[in-house]
Amino acid sequence: MFNSTVRRGFVLLASVSLALSSCGRTPAAAPNLSALAAAGEPVINELYYDSPSTDVGTFIELKGPAGASLSGYTLAAFDTAGTQYRTITLSGTIPASGYFVVAQDTTVASRNLVNAGADLNNGAGSLRLLKSTTIIDAVAYGSPTSNKGEGTSAATTGAGSALARVPDGSDTNANSVDFKVQLSTAGAANGGGTGGGGTTTKKVLFDLTKAEDAGNADWRIDGAYSDYATALRGLGYTVSSITGTSITSASLSGASVLVIPEPQNPFSDAERAAIQTFVQNGGGVFMITDHRVSDRNNSGWDSPEVFNGWDGSTPASVSSTYQASLNSDVIFGLNASFNSSFSDPVLTATPVTTHPILNGVSSAGVYVGTSVDVLAGTALMGTGGRTYLAVNSVGSGRVAMWGDSSTFGDNTYSDGSTGTYNNWPNLSNATMGKNIVRWLAKDL
């Protein structure tokens, strides 16, 4: 928003602005916009215009006084040359939160208005908020040849990141100063984890203590999950592995999220207690399972059994310290179903409800995986009456379980070779994988 309360000269300034635009001339710092809006008007607070792949789930967020009517307001979008290509007519009132979200589609959980026009041009452009013909606020991003924002344009975002005012709602009348690239936060305060090139204090750990790279699997952040790790680092997270043979409270210290991708060896009672305490105290755990009889290291354990506990079959004798393993059905309410096998078909899971994790996600491949029995929590994706993604809140933390490890993998092993887990083409997998971690880290 333009903070100045000076109103005199608006007609003249608006006329000058229109004349300059019609002649193809634009002042470099757009000084003619600095005195237009009165105090108390809403601002354009966040733009999420470039989601991965097919650009679903994009949105425009306004911040303003709770209860203020948006009748008579419009959003005008301009391409890099300054040609208006879209008008969005606003309606309704700003909710008590102070955030009003114009969503491209219904995948945006915090939406207040759905309008397909909220999918703005990627790369470079401008957006203005108008009240009748009065310019209330404006932002330019990228390097448009005709800047219709305030001052120097803000940066452009990479796919999956948003452009947001940081601190939340701040306005110095210079887009390059006010807007930062960060994680999208529709309907919530800005200033969380940053997007490409940014930093955050939050750490994501991938477990490597349970033979996750055994046999023909390679779920390492320097192997088949290297693309996944790179995507998370692009969102600003610190990503590393827990190595050795066990997880302890010390190894989890300072982490926000623990990812456990298809473990092959059981957890001890002490490890389970450390992980349970981690979640109770606010941490997030992402459990990625696979089908039954997926014992990669001939230990007698497959990943559903590691998550749920010993099923009483091979090996013939299991120490009581390991029989319960993670016991995820009891402590987290999510059970990796034993009713699956390698003969299960290749499936495509789709959303069964609305949830922030599903923003921008239309489907994801389940390439011979395990369904999830939701004993407590929420089923998010599934097909054929089965659930393949579910989440739950436990204590102060959060947990998620997905039924197939290869969904987030690429085809490169840590030794540089290629393997059998060439990910089936599915453009939503990267978005879903990032969203799961962001939700677990409470950034979504």
Residue-wise pLDDT for 333-391, tens only, equals 999 998 766 666 778 899 999 998 887 788 888 888 899 999 999 999 999 899 999 99
E-strand stretches of 79-145 = 84-89, 99-103, 113-114, 125-131, 134-141
Contacts of 23 (CB under 8 A, 6+ apart): none
pLDDT score recorded for residue 184: 83
Do 145 and 272 belong to one domain? no
Residue 194 within any structural domain of the chain: no
pLDDT score recorded for residue 34: 40
424 has pLDDT over 80 = no
pLDDT score recorded for residue 316: 78
Range of the domain at 119: 10-182
Do 113 and 211 belong to one domain? no
Residue 368 within any structural domain of the chain: yes
Q: Over the stretch 138-191, which tens digit does the pLDDT of each residue have?
A: 999 988 999 999 999 988 887 778 899 988 888 888 898 888 887 788 888 886
Q: Over the stretch 23-43, which tens digit does the pLDDT of each residue have?
A: 333 333 343 444 344 567 999
Do 316 and 412 belong to one domain? yes
Residue 133 within any structural domain of the chain: yes
Contact 32, 128 (CB under 8 A): no
Do 277 and 384 belong to one domain? yes
Task: State how far Cα 302 lies from the chain centre.
Answer: 29
pLDDT score recorded for residue 411: 73
E-strand stretches of 25-78 = 43-48, 59-63, 73-78
pLDDT score recorded for residue 300: 92
- Note if the pTM is more than 0.85: no
Say which CATH number the domain at 398 has: 3.40.50.880
Residue 380 carries which side chain, given as an amino acid letter? Answer: L
pLDDT score recorded for residue 430: 73
Taking residues 105-119, what's their average pLDDT?
92
Do 221 and 369 belong to one domain? yes
Do 142 and 210 belong to one domain? no
Residue 197 within any structural domain of the chain: no
φ, ψ for residue 377 (rounded to 5)?
115, -150
Task: Tell me the β-bridge partners of 249.
Answer: none
pLDDT score recorded for residue 75: 98
438 has pLDDT over 60 = yes
Contact 259, 241 (CB under 8 A): no
Do 14 and 138 belong to one domain? yes
Question: Which of 182, 217, 240 is where one domain is finished?
Answer: 182
pLDDT score recorded for residue 170: 81
Element at 20 (helix H, strand E): helix 10-22
Taking residues 248-254, what's their average pLDDT?
93
User: What number of residues does the chain have?
Assistant: 444
Domain total for the chain?
2
Say which CATH number the domain at 93 has: 2.60.40.1260
Taking residues 311-339, what's their average pLDDT?
91
Question: Which of 151, 182, 213 is where one domain is finished?
Answer: 182
Question: Could you give the 3-state DSSP secondary structure of residue 288?
Answer: strand
Taking residues 57-79, what's their average pLDDT?
95
- Maximum mean pLDDT: which of 42-56, 155-169, 199-213, 268-282: 268-282
DSSP state of 303: H
Residue 178 within any structural domain of the chain: yes
The torsion angle over the Cα atoms of residues 305, 308, 309 and 310, rounded to 10 degrees, is -40
Written as six digits, the tokens of 437 are: 């971690």
Residue 191 within any structural domain of the chain: no
Supply the mean pLDDT for the chain: 84
pLDDT score recorded for residue 107: 85
Element at 231 (helix H, strand E): helix 226-234
Do 133 and 251 belong to one domain? no
DSSP H helices in 235-382: 249-252, 269-280, 303-308, 320-323, 328-331
pLDDT score recorded for residue 38: 53
427 has pLDDT over 60 = no
Residue 326 within any structural domain of the chain: yes
Give 193's Cβ-side CA count (13 Å radius). 29
Q: How many CB atoms lie within 10 A of CB 389?
A: 29
Task: State how far Cα 106 lies from the chain centre.
Answer: 16
Contact 86, 61 (CB under 8 A): no
Residue 193 within any structural domain of the chain: no
Distance CA 250, CA 275 (A): 11
Do 240 and 291 belong to one domain? yes
E-strand stretches of 325-371 = 334-336, 346-351, 364-367
Do 404 and 367 belong to one domain? yes
φ, ψ for residue 63 (rounded to 5)?
-125, 130
Distance CA 321, CA 399 (A): 23
Distance CA 141, CA 125 (A): 6
Across 30-39, 205-214, 217-226, 309-318, least confident range: 30-39
Do 149 and 236 belong to one domain? no
CA angle, residues 294, 295, 299, in degrees to nearest 5: 165
Do 426 and 357 belong to one domain? yes
Cα–Cα distances in angstroms (integers) from residue 123 to residues 176, 206, 379, 383, in the given order:
15, 33, 36, 36
Written as six digits, the tokens of 350 are: 């789709």
Largest CA distance in the chain: 87
